Structure formats: C-alpha cells, structure tokens
Amino acid sequence: MVFPPQEENAQGLWRIAEGVAEVQDLLEPGVTAAPKQPKRRRPSREQIANLVQRATEFWSLRDRRMDEDLSLYRMAEIPEGEGEVVIRNIPWVMVEKASSILSKQPPSIDAVPPENRLKEAAQAIEDFLRYAWEVWDRRWMQALHGPLLRDIAHFLCLRGWVTIRISYNADAPPGEIPVDLHVCDPRQVYPQLGSSGLRYVVHRYWATVGEILDEWPEAEKRLSGRDEDEVVEVVAYYDDWWHYLEVDGIEVKPPTEHGYGFVPWVVATGLGAPVRATTHDQTHWTQEVGVSIFHGIKRAYRQLNRLVSQLATEVARVANPPTVYYYDPARPDNPQPIRLSAGATNFLYFDRERVEVLQVTPNPANAAPVMQALLDDVEKGGLPGVLWGVGQGSGFALTLQTDAAMDTLHPLTRVLEQVIEQVNQRALELIRDLHDGPVGYLVRDPLTGRLVSGQAITPDLIAAVGTRTVVRFRKVAPRDRVQMAQLAALLTDKKLISLETARDEFLGIENPQRENERVLADLAYLDPEVTREVLVPWALARTDPVLYELWRQAKLRKEQQEEQKRTSAPERPGGAPPPQAAPPGMPPQALPPQLATLMNLLQHSQASVSGGQGEEAPPGVPGVEPLPGAGEIPGLV
C-alpha cells in the first residue's frame, strides 16, 4: 500500500504537523548527530567460520534438550515395554493453551515523551507502532504461519526462547514501513553473549532455494540451475556492524556493512535456572537456559504414560485373557484352540479336558495412589485446571485459584513485554537513523475502530520523542467480564479510581485514551440540542430531501415569528429593568414600591456599616430620598 504525499493529505495529518512543528522548536539548528562508526574490524571468512563452529558447539546441549522437547510435543516418544502403548497429549495441549492465553489480549503500547508538549507526537508514534505490528502480522500469516504474536508465544512455550531478526528494507515503496520482522526458530539461532548483551549471532538453518532467492536476490548466480524446492543449508553471521551469508558452503554475501550500530536480533528466554558455569560444571548449564513450559513435568509425564500403558495392557488382557488348555493325550487328533469370543461353542471330552482362564490382572486400586501422585505433579508443574475452565468452588475461591495459576505464566508474560519493547525500539532506531522522508501508516476511527485515514511520522519526530516504549499485557487469565465491569462502575462512582484506570485495568481496553474520545463523541450524539439542531437535518438531507426542505421552511417560519415577538414588545421607559418574580406564596406587591425598597435588609446593613466606630448610623439606603413624613417615624431620617 502506497500512501499519498503528506502535502496531499493535510487534513489527515494536522496532528503530525503540530508534532513536527514542536520538534523543530526542540531541535537545535545546524546540529546533527555524528555518524556511527564500526566498533570492530571487518572479519574474514575464516574468522566467521571459526565463530560459527564455536557457537554451534557451545549450545549443543541446548539443541539436544530442544529436540527432546519437540519429540514430547509431537507425542513421538514411545514408552518402553510390551503391550498397549498410551501417550497422553499433555505437552501439546499445554503449549497450545499457554500460547493462546498469552496472545489472546493485544498488548498496550505507550510511548514516553520527554516533555508534555510532545504528547500528541508520542500518540502518533503509538499509533504507528500498533499499525506496524498489524502489517508484520499480515506479512507473517501470508507465509502460511499462524498469527504473529501467537507464534512468538508458541516458540517461548515450546523452545523456551524467542529469536527475532530485524532488518531495514531500503527498497520499500515510498510511504511503506521500511522495517522487516523475521521470527526464527530458536533451535537454529546461536547467540554469543557479552557483558552488555549480544556480541554476535549465528543463524544456521535449512530452507528451500526459492525462499533463499526471495530473501537474498544476490544468491541467484550461486544457485543457478537448482530446483526451487531443493533444501539447502544457510549460515548467516551478524554483529553490530557486519553481515555474512553462505549457502551450502558457497559464499553468497561476503562480510558487508549493514551499519545499524547494534546486533539486529532480539533474543530472550523465559523459564529455566539462572545459573551459569561453575567449578564443577562449565558446559551443562547451557541445557537449562530457556526451558519449555513442560520441562518440570517431563519425568512425571513419562512415568504417567508408562503406568497408563500398563493399565491399558491389562484391560486388553481382560478382553482377550490367556488360557490353559488341559487336553486328553489319548485323542488321535490334535487339540483344537479354544474360542473365547461372544457366543462361541467349544467341545471338550468330559472329565478329561478342561480350560482355565489365567487371572493375572492386578487390582486397579493398587495403582490408584501412584496415579494420583503423578497427576498431582502434572497439575502443579503444568497449567492448573482453573485455566482450562474446570475449577471448582465459589467465585472468591476461583479468583484465588486463577491468580495462583497465573504465576506459571507471569515470567512468560514479562518476556513477551520485553520482546515487543525491544522490537519497537529497534524499528524506530532504524527509521530514525537510516530512513529519509516520512513513513505512512493508517489510523483507526475513534468511533468505529476501523482503519480510515493515513498519517505519517518522520525521522525528526522520532528523534524528538525518543525510541522508548512501555508495553504491558493486561490480565490474560479467564475473567468474568460482567463482574469486572460492575466493580469498575462501583469504583468510579465512589471516585476511588479514574475512568481511564477502569478502562485499562478492569475492562482491558487496548487504548483507553482513544476510548475516552469515543465516549465524548457519544455524549455529543446523545445531547438533545445536537440531535435536534444537527443530526435531524443531516439525516433528513441524506434520506429524504423533500422532507428536509419542509423541515427547513418550518424552522424559518418559527424563527421569523420569534423575531417579530421580540421587535413588537413595548420598551420600558427609562430603561427600567423588568420586574422580578415574587417568591412562591407571596403576592407580587406585598408593600408599596417605596417601602419595599426601604425594607431591603441587605441594603440596610450596608448603609449601617458606613457609620463611625462606636456609632450606629441611622438605617437607610444610600442614594434614596427619604419618604415624606419619614422624620416622624423613629429610626428613619
């Protein structure tokens, strides 16, 4: 999608224009950021090959554990022993359920402006990032993947890692988002850590020739003559300045500058022990870095499969039990097998032959304690039943159970928040440092929530606001929305929380600020004056022009009649004010006008205050002539 130039969409970009004006006030004229310089020399191909080999060997135990987890997830591990085989689907459903819970609620994205005057510009960056994630999600799903956030959570639950590569696309059409997002299988990514983060990353994976040519067009000469569905091995190297690529041992892209100034990867781990190398173990700690969500129940899960398989074998043995056949050796023919199917008839020599069924099935009650212990371990080490909607107890008890169950997903939620924050930061940095001109995006209508108009952000806008964002997942556990809405209404009615907090914390609305604008718009629509004076003529003009013309003429006649009434009303002499209405229950003229003026207690008190200290000024009203005969009345002068 190509957006129109900014000057052609001035009405839709007025907020951005204000933000850019504020940015220009903040930026010092003539001062530009110094260009970034490489921190290390250009590596040779031999050096990169050595780093690739060392990184792959360093994480070999992690790879072995990931392969084991994938085998359990696919239910491909067969329990030892003879008889029936039963494999429960606990790892599969745990990963699928946890990834669905984590990706169900969209995260809130808040840009942190350095000054309050840049709030509108920060809101523009928030809208851009929300739209960018929608674009990345659409691109990811077009490649036959699931939703982007769900697949990220799936890798985190199954592999225990999240690995995302970010790249700048200089060939993006004008106005398009020039940042590409590549979610990679953590089993194929080998990071090298430093004291302050990543030093370099090796990406070793297998892909078809068609996929390689689509992402790396420069490989066409090296891969000419090969079928597009042929699978080849790809090895890529990334550090904070250099990039290298080879396919099946053939150099496709020599060490080349990407010029980002940072390693273009986001690598994060969720669960697992935080231990590192010790005196007694310098290598095995890598196996525990970033484990799967079912890592703690693998032993109990295997034992449970073995026990259930044994019980299934005994059940099958009851359906077709072993037998002992005592036959007469004096019979000239061979003994015939006994048929134990329903309705079968067997003929035996009386008192010479017999059949006994061997009862070797143990009592199921003997296996009940072991089964209960294994199920309890799986319940505590996996996802509690309340997250599956099978909790028992009162509403308060279920709330406590749900909060306790969310402890399992809390580390994963925090990791996803950090991953999205890092992706946002890197994307904004790439646009700020490498892109020229505005980047277009679509915004949603405050009333309908649909994408309706285009706006744009600029590198200067990002430089002024900054690249820091705060991402937060709200409650991802199952909740009673009716109960939460009632609680939010009660707290806001008692003025204990604000409406924005209620929308954010209790109702889980993605953008509370935008929702407040929608509420204000609804209030305008519900106002009787707006409905009568604006919405009614607007609706009539769109639906029935004839009726609108009749309504307009009737309104004009009514206005003319009101104007005639105002002009024909007689004017009062001397500009006297209109008489005020008397209080209820009192006749309109309780006293003569002169006495009514004198009986104004407020004016009396004001006139008395004007007297000297220790003296009581005679009550009276300043500026009012005394009545005839007032001197004969005590107290009136």
**Residue 25 scores a pLDDT above 70:** no
**Residue 198 scores a pLDDT above 50:** yes
Q: For residues 87 and 363, what is the distance between their CA atoms, to the nearest angstrom? A: 22
- The answer to whether the beta carbons of residues 175 and 2 sit under 8 Å apart is yes
Helix (H) and strand (E) counts in the chain: 20, 16
| The pLDDT of residue 555 | 86
Pick 391 or 11 by higher pLDDT. 391
The dihedral built from the CA positions of residue 461, 462, 464 and 469, taken in this order, carries a sign that is positive
**Residue 308 scores a pLDDT above 70:** yes
Helix axes 148-158, 119-142, angle to 10 degrees: 70
Cα–Cα–Cα angle for 236, 238, 243, nearest 5°? 75
Mean residue pLDDT of the chain comes to: 78
What residue spans define the domains of the chain? Answer: 44-77+90-188+235-244+256-293+408-471, 295-388, 480-526, 529-563
Q: How confident is the model at residue 68 (pLDDT cuts 50, 70, 90)?
A: very high
pLDDT tens digit string along 370-382? 888 888 888 888 8
Average confidence (pLDDT) over 560-581: 67
> 210: helix, coil or strand?
helix
pLDDT tens digit string along 215-247? 888 888 888 888 888 999 999 999 999 999 999
pLDDT tens digit string along 256-305? 998 888 999 999 998 888 888 888 877 888 888 999 999 988 999 888 88
**Residue 567 scores a pLDDT above 60:** yes
